[in-house]
Chain A
Amino acid sequence: MTSIASTEGGGLGRRLQESLAAAALTLVLCVPIILFRTDSDQNTGQLQLIWRPILVAVFVVIAFVGRFLLLTAAAAPKLEKAAVVAKPRSAAASQALNLGGLAFLLLFPPVTVALLGGGGALKWIDSYGIQILIYVMLGWGLNIVVGLAGLLDLGYVAFYAVGAYSYTLLATTFHLSFWICLPIAGILAATWGMILGFPVLRLRGDYLAIVTLAFGEIIRTVLVNWTDFSGGGAGISSIPKITFFGLVFADRPGGFDDFFGLEYAPIHSKLFLYYVILGLALLTSFVTIRLRRLPIGRAWEALREDEIACRSLGVNTTNTKLTAFALGAFFGGLAGSFFAVRQGFISPESFTFNESATILAIVVLGGMGSQIGVALAAVFLIGGFELLRELDLVHWLWFDSEIIASVVILILLGLLTRRWLLWAAIIVVADAAIILVQDKVFADQLAALWPGFYSYKLDIDPTQYRGLLFGLAMVVMMVVRPRGFVSTRAPSIFLKERKSVSGDLVKEGHG
């Protein structure tokens, strides 16, 4: 991108010429997308065609001005452009980052409670803290299979489901406590990981992905249809809650709060759940980090790099793949168990392919094989989803389709002109301008100028745009950082100096 930037710019005439070209391109793209809109008449229900030339003009002008400014900026002398080269983090900086992250995670609940009080902090600890940590743990678990061993698994949610149902059925049928069920659920999930592992040992790449995808669906379909066993599509409710060494979190004598002489508050159980999932996630990470430095971990990574060379060195690739599947599934099962105890209700609806895709996206977005990258990606994606719920966009977005169209068009332009960042900035500015219209006074003035204005008002639930934003984030990431947030690989052993390995050399695995 930098090399192209240096050839752009040029004289005023040339800049105007290119800007006109960009504007023309926008015009061509806008005509089918924005210019016409069909709408049904509110009174008669008749379809009518609405022309929106002004809106088209707005985008054409934005493209022209944006392109011109961009070229002007490109023509200006450059300072430093070396930021493209990924600088490996030093060992000390990396350790400081890890410790900082850990301290933040440990202090997050008390600080939130101190700032917002018990009631206000509930949402932040539950919907953000616990929810994100579940996905961090799932991401770290799947990272063993996909990131380290290079086996593309599209059905990871199956093990999550096995864990959740294991706890639920054991707790409701045999009245076992969570802490006894937790390891059993993990082992059951690991067993299913092996059961999946055996038939797919010989499969690679696309074929492996399809079979794992099918496996995820099989588990879900069985849960839906085997009503006697799993309660079917209705799910299972009233799952026993988590206990603190046998003390229930409830407002009654003998409960946790009563035992410690505290006043009952729902936040206490959430705090406990938070630290439980934090512990489980850290266990996943700790085990993964340790295993990477052991022969099994090196064999996983070697398997990702070159399976044939592995066999020539005496590595039993069958066992290596099976342990990766089993261990990944084990942590998925633990997370599933936790999910069940936290929700108190589970149904097959919670274990759709969508979940597998989200977890895989976290791993890919984070940078395959990187612990910190996966954690950041989980915060970014799951935190982002939760934030969407916060936004009340109903009276906020007036031109939903226009904004989507503008995003699409400008992304296309950005890709064509290879200047995604500036175009992204332009998108934000343009859409922010449209959002400005939320101001009632401003909107009324606009409506006076443009009688059709209010016909565009729509009621929007921002969470419905989850998929769109999710896809967009993935597209942008693939363009900007194709190897994820953390694209370098840290070696598992070193003689003199720990040097990060550039992501370009690291393979993604082939099966």
Chain B
Amino acid sequence: MRWKSDPILVVEHLTMRFGGLVAVNNLSFEAGRGDITALIGPNGAGKTTVFNCVTGFYKPTEGRLALARSGVADIERVEALTRTGKRHDRTPAGDIYLLERMPGNEIAWHARVARTFQNIRLFQGMTVLENLMVAHHNQLMIASGLTFLGLFGAPSYRAAEREAVERAKYWLERIGLTDRADDPAGELPYGAQRRLEIARAMCTDPVLLCLDEPAAGLNPRESAELNALLNMIRDEHKTSLLLIEHDMSVVMQISDHVVVLDYGTKISDGTPTEVRNDPKVIAAYLGVADEEELADAEAEIGA
């Protein structure tokens, strides 16, 4: 139950309305530091909306999204920060950010939340290496003295650029695309594009990585490679993961914690074993109540 004792992300009473449509309704959950948290649910359950709220693409109608970049997400500090109206509270005890108050680019840069997209969003006309270099944008901007030093080729900027290239090379090796570094991203096969998008997000050095259906469209072998990659990211880079996934084998194998959404509300929350034995999940997720079909459904998700 690490998500209760040491959460990295605390979502409280998150509500997102689009006109009359309530996409997410009073949702509260925690994601544990160092955990792989899966957000599952039928189509239209509001999973991607939650992602868009966490990463700043939507401004939530109601609710609080507290992220503890470091330290412990102490509820009293979060409450105090909420009252001050500020965006963040940075102390030696830890940095806490209120994501609902920040625009997307600041969430990525200051709170260090990175994300990928359901329909891959690579810079297709730029090379694989360039894609990874864009992910180093902010630190390179600072190193280039907001461009002015870089324009005159200052050594400090060149060192920073070399460092960024080294990091990019590290990730290229990890996703097995070193040989294709100079090819346009749009020319890569689908599975490689998915991996590159994850590597690009990792180049921003996130504490929380949000993956929107990373296994969609992958074959079983690629899916297994993806599991290994995600485990490596969690173990070696101390990055917590929040993922939306439809592929139950991926969810059950790698996640530590599963949150189930249906019609914008949470219907179950717990370890994979707990969730898959929850009759509410099976009924709501698969939309069946019939005994026989329920048995088939249970077999399908491995219960």
Contact = CB atoms under 8 A, between A and B. Distances in A.
17 contacts: A291-B151, A295-B137, A299-B137, A305-B123, A305-B126, A306-B122, A306-B123, A312-B57, A314-B204, A315-B138, A493-B129, A494-B127, A499-B182, A499-B183, A501-B125, A501-B184, A502-B184
Interface stretch (B107-115, B221-229, B262-270): B107-115
A379 to B, nearest CB: 26
Contacts of B140: 294-295
Interface string B155-199: 001000000010001000000001001111011000000000000
A506 B200 CA distance: 19
Given A298-B134, A491-B130, A312 B123 contact: no
A287 interface: yes
B134 A302 contact: yes
B117 A309 contact: yes
Contacts of A496: 181-182
Nearest to A295: B140
B126 to A, nearest CB: 6
Contacts of B129: 491, 493-495
B227 to A, nearest CB: 23
Contact of B137 (A298, A492, A497, A505): A298
B147 A291 contact: yes
A315 to B, nearest CB: 5
A314 B186 contact: no
Interface residues of A, number: 39
A317 B109 CA distance: 13
Interface in A17-32: none
B28 interface: no
B303 interface: no
B196 to A, nearest CB: 12
A310 B122 CA distance: 9
Interface centre among B117, B121, B125, B129 (most CB of A within 10 A): B125
A498 interface: yes
A506 B136 CA distance: 21
Interface centre among B55, B114, B138, B169 (most CB of A within 10 A): B138
B242 interface: no
A315 B137 contact: yes
B137 A309 contact: no
Given A310-B134, A313-B108, A501-B184, A295 B127 contact: no
Interface of A: 287, 290-291, 294-296, 298-299, 301-302, 304-306, 308-317, 323, 489, 491-499, 501-502, 505-507
Interface string B119-159: 00111111101100111111011001001001100000100
Contacts of B181: 494-496
Interface centre among A298, A493, A506 (most CB of B within 10 A): A493
Contact of A312 (B115, B126, B165): B115
A313 to B, nearest CB: 5
Interface centre among B130, B200, B204 (most CB of A within 10 A): B130
B201 interface: yes
Contact of B109 (A295, A314, A491, A497): A314
B41 interface: no
A323 B151 CA distance: 14
A496 B106 CA distance: 33
Contact of B124 (A291, A305, A314, A315): A305
B231 interface: no
B272 interface: no
B34 interface: no
Contacts of B204: 313-314
A441 to B, nearest CB: 59
Interface centre among B55, B122, B144, B151 (most CB of A within 10 A): B151
Contacts of A492: 130, 133
A296 B121 contact: no
Contacts of B271: none
A270 to B, nearest CB: 32
Contacts of B114: 312-313
Given A290-B150, A305-B126, 16 more contacts: A291-B147, A295-B150, A301-B126, A302-B137, A305-B124, A305-B125, A308-B57, A312-B57, A313-B108, A314-B105, A489-B125, A491-B129, A496-B182, A497-B182, A501-B126, A501-B184
Given A294-B150, A491-B130, A505-B187, A306 B105 contact: no
